[in-house]
Amino acid sequence: MIKLLEDLFKKVKTRLEDSSEDEHKNHVHIPDDLLYKCPRCQKVTFMDAFVDNSKVCPECGYHARISCRERLEMLADNGSFIEYDKHMKSQNPLQFPQYAEKVAQLKQLTGLNDAVITGECEIMGRKTVVGIMDSRFMMASMGSVVGEKITRAFERATRQNLPIILFTASGGARMQEGILSLMQMAKTSGAASLHSEKGLLYITVLTDPTTGGVTASFASLGDIIIAEPKVLVGFAGRRVIEGTIKQRLPDDFQSAEFLLEHGFADMIVERKEMRRTLAELLKLHAREVV
């Protein structure tokens, strides 16, 4: 009986090995950059079509995360961007273990010194200060450098009587910098307040995700708050809130559509329409400085 089972196992094993060899011979390698699979609807499309559509899924409209440089290319007039504080770097003020190594790795991976770029540019001929956060760099968490660059962008916009547009995308405060990270909430909010007191326009564009201390500070202070479709925006996580209030939250809680319905956002704008929409808002709110 044992001999019979051993012979049967060998036959099955041989057939499986032969089948695997045939599949390997007939297998066609598909390059990783040829196709894009949407994480929301699971539909597959050609990468070229996805990129040409501003990295928005043509099937369900999912707005994929993009880098700050890609965002800038979609937004600014050619050759008009002048970057601020390009060489500002974090110094690991708390000597957090392995933080410096992590930052160094991300610098090499992203080509950025930290999680935001700031500067001035023109959008369809309208001059503005702009800041764009990049989720590839420690989920765009707000540390000392991010807070300082955003604060300085507000201050320059105030001195030059310019509007400011900030594209937010963040996991919140950066834990590796402790209380110094939390201090950036007050600093950026104060700079936004001084800009507002001068009667200048501040537009916030919420992208996926905008959470934590960024949401609780400058991201929610815009004169006009725009969001991309279906992005996640919130402070604490769903499970934390449900555990605190002992209630189940709506399925669309912390989505851009929920914010719009409850008055926390002014409009939802698709990525392809963002440049034109911002240019129109800048034109509408333009004013002569006396």
The model's pLDDT over 90-123, given as tens digits with 9 standing for 90+, comes to: 889 999 999 999 999 999 999 999 999 999 999 9
Do the domain assignments include residue 12?
no
Q: What is the pTM of this model?
A: 0.86
The rounded distance, in Å, linking the Cα atoms of 230 and 251 is 12
Domain count, the chain: 2
Of 19, 45, 62, which one is at a domain's C-terminal end?
Answer: 62
Q: Are residues 37 and 122 in the same domain?
A: no
Return the higher-pLDDT residue of 287 and 97: 97
Determine, yes or no, domain membership for 56. yes
In a shared domain, residues 52 and 141:
no
Where among 62, 77, 103 does a domain terminate? Answer: 62
Higher pLDDT, 13 or 282: 282
Q: Domain range for residue 43? A: 30-62
> Mean pLDDT for the chain?
90
Q: Tell me what pLDDT residue 14 has.
A: 58
Q: What is the pLDDT of residue 261?
A: 96
Residue 9 lies in a domain: no
pLDDT (mean) for 164-186: 96
pLDDT in the model for residue 18: 54
In percent, the amount of the chain with pLDDT more than 70 equals: 88
192 & 81 share domain: yes
Residues 118 and 220 in one domain: yes
Average pLDDT, integer, range 65-88:
96
The pLDDT value recorded for residue 28 is 53
Q: Residue 11 falls within a domain, yes or no?
A: no
| Pairing outcome for strands 35-37 and 44-46 | antiparallel
The fraction of the chain above a pLDDT of 90, given in percent, is 81
pLDDT of 7 strictly over 70 = no
Residues 35 and 70 reside in one and the same domain: no
113 CB contacts (<8 Å, ≥6 apart)?
86, 87, 88, 89, 107, 145
What is the pLDDT at residue 122? 98
Q: For residue 179, what is the domain's CATH number? A: 3.90.226.10
126 and 231, same domain (yes or no)? yes
Same domain for 41 and 84, yes or no, is no
Do 124 and 263 belong to one domain?
yes
Find the helix packing angle between 144-159 and 178-197, rounded to 10°: 10
Residue 20 forms part of a structural domain: no
Does residue 22 form part of some domain? no
HEC assignment per residue over the chain: CHHHHHHHHHHHHHHHHHHHHHHHHHCCCCCCCCEEECCCCCCEEEHHHHHHCCCECCCCCCECCCCHHHHHHHHCCCCCCEEECCCCCCCCCCCCCCHHHHHHHHHHHHCCCCCEEEEEEEECCEEEEEEEECCCCHHHCECHHHHHHHHHHHHHHHHCCCCEEEEEEECCECHHHHHHHHHHHHHHHHHHHHHHHCCCCEEEEEEEEECHHHHCCHHHCCCEEEECCCCEECCCCHHHHHHHHCCCCCCCCCEHHHHHHCCCCCEECCHHHHHHHHHHHHHHCCCCCC
Residue 119 lies in a domain: yes
Q: Same structural domain for residues 122 and 179?
A: yes
Residues 134 and 276 in one domain: yes
Among 62, 83, 108, the domain boundary falls at 62
User: Quick one: 57 and 136 in the same domain?
Assistant: no
pLDDT tens digits, one per residue of 18-51: 545 554 555 555 666 789 999 889 999 999 999 9
Please give the pLDDT value at position 33.
76
Same domain as 53, residue 71 = no
Task: Please write the tens of the pLDDT for every residue from 216-266.
Answer: 999 999 999 999 999 999 999 889 999 999 999 998 999 999 999 999 999
